[in-house]
Chain A
Amino acid sequence: MSSKPLVQKSLSATLVHGILICYSILALWPIFLVLINSFKSRKGIFNDPMALPSAETFSTIGFDKVLGRSNFDVYFFNSITVTVLTLGITLLIGAMAAWALAGYKYKLNTLLAFYLAIGIMVPIRLGTVSILKLVVAMGLMNTLTALVLVYIAMSLPLTIFILSEFMQQIPNDLKEAARCDGVSEYRIFFQIILPLTRPAIATVGVFTMVPVWNDLWFPLILTADDSVRTVTLGVQQFVGQYVTDWNSVLASLTLAIVPVFILYIIFSRQLIRGITAGAVK
């Protein structure tokens, strides 16, 4: 039994939950606004932005425009391709690099870890001009490959940093027991280390996925062509200098939430499974 009286305990629990609820409302409010307004007519949006769609103001004109009159399916496909490829390659290479840093001792170990950590400190956007030159020189302008490469470079440092910290927690004996069992180094990585780091990989996956999905900067510079636009860039065509087509903007933003939401659910399930697998002792 805790020494704290029950009243005090429930009071502090209420306080904690109160703060969490307030924060959740704060964080979810803009998303809620986007959602309700995407189902309203233009008049409805401007008359009362906070109101729920009523029979009078309900309209799917935004969705009709987005799905019917633009290349939104292409943008969607591009975004998903870029995000999934980036995610897959970053997690694979990042986990392998992290294991190389955490699991093996060699001379340049520390130096290499430091070199990779620099990538976390220097924002990749500082190198935009050089990246642009490089992409042009490689003939990758207006290709999704360019985006995927840039995003992998952007995500790798943090991925490696977090995963190698996590992998250092894995006892050495486990690796050595596997070696005694005749397990090859690759199998040790794929069949023992990777399953054990699943929760960390899921966390890193979410961290990697969201900025890539949301990024506007690099698509704006590297993939301006209509056929390779991503969702975030595609939305911009509804944002004009003088007139903004709010129905379409809000509808496309609403649609953009869906894939990232699905990916998040997949990862968070892994996350929870990983946590509980360790907790049941």
Chain B
Amino acid sequence: MADMKLEGVYKSYGDVEVLHGVDIDITDGEFVVFVGPSGCGKSTLLRMIAGLEDISGGDISISGERVNDKPPADRGIAMVFQSYALYPHMSVRKNMAFGLSIAKLGKAEIKTRVDAAAEKLQLTELLHRRPAQLSGGQRQRVAIGRAIVREPQVFLFDEPLSNLDAALRVNTRLEIAKLHQDLQNTVIYVTHDQVEAMTLADKIVVMNGGNVEQIGSPMDLYHRPANLFVAGFIGSPKMNFLPGTVVSVDGSSIAVQVAGSLSGTVTFDRPGNSCSSGDSITLGVRPEHLTAAGNELSGAVEVVERLGDVSYIYLNLADGERLVIAESGTTEVAPGEKIGCNLDPASLHLFDADGKVVN
């Protein structure tokens, strides 16, 4: 069983602390994605799990065993790097076999494993080639193959798709998902792309500035973001945020005055324990939960993007706020046109002044 536990993991370089105590529980066979903007510490955390960075504080354990002071090779992990990090002077076969020969496996065993991995990744034809003679996608598959043959307890992926072009990225993403279904290994995957996170993960860990903002399933994060950061990071196009003021709280509902709204207050059926009237509050609404009909909010259309299945309308509200509306199908709205839309309290998110969600 390859479950993993991170408890109060800190990392500092000299006086600068880059990870401020991270706690994550990962169960066996789970596909976990660390996602966040660049510089949030997600790669550092992955490298600490791999054993490539020292752990300044806290514990990392794999299968119940504390691995803080173990070298990478003894942790039962295999890592796929963003740059693939293939040995340039070795053939594909040697690249995959190198780690195994270091581990003193028998020749026959090595051959079986390499051949099986090559078969699985469609690399059989390329086994004699050097990395320089391969395309980006093929190199990526070799890097994955090199990880597979080690039969690790945990796979670590460090932004494996960011060097690939868009079409190949989607393909490889699918292959990684299929691979995980096949092998049922624990996977930790680092990316800054929320689409990769949403499509691949069983569990997403959203990180920002060295802190874990929220951990949950993709749909959890999408429907119930714990704070402004997660709400803004997950989903594309980004969630709309509108400033507002709490008008009244009565224990079972909150009334909020939305800036620029024509119809006065919006009432939410939630207790809103943490707020009191007069507090400023942020409303979040996803573009797909808005329709270009109604009159609660109105403004002039700035740009319309039509993608065929969906159209994005960029609206300039009267008070200078901007709003994106996603309409399914092709919209007839034209730039410059004045349109309005209504807010549906059920699909709105509320965040207090500290950015925490208000329930």
Task: Spell out A's residues near B (CB within 8 Å).
Answer: 171, 173-174, 176-184, 187, 192, 195-196, 277-278, 280-281
Contacts and interface: CB of A to CB of B under 8 A. Distances in A.
A277 to B, nearest CB: 7
Contact of A173 (B51, B71, B85): B85
Given A182-B99, A182-B103, A281-B132, A174 B85 contact: yes
Given A182-B102, A187-B102, A176 B85 contact: yes
A176 B89 contact: no
Contact of A171 (B79, B83, B103): B83
Contacts, number: 72
Contacts of A195: 89
B73 A173 contact: no
Given A278-B132, A281-B132, A180 B87 contact: no
A180 B102 contact: no
Interface of B: 47, 50-52, 71-74, 77-79, 81-89, 98-99, 102-103, 130, 132-133, 146, 150
A40 B47 CA distance: 71
| Interface of A, helix, strand, loop or mixed by DSSP | helix
Contacts of A277: 88-89, 130, 132
A192 B87 contact: yes
Given A180-B51, A180-B78, A192-B87, 9 more contacts: A173-B82, A174-B87, A177-B79, A180-B79, A181-B146, A181-B150, A182-B71, A182-B72, A278-B132
Contacts of B72: 176, 179-180, 182
A183 B79 contact: no
Nearest to B152: A180
A171 B99 CA distance: 19
Given A182-B99, A183-B98, A187-B102, A177 B132 contact: no
A58 to B, nearest CB: 50
A105 to B, nearest CB: 11
B85 A196 contact: no
B294 to A, nearest CB: 53
B73 A180 contact: yes
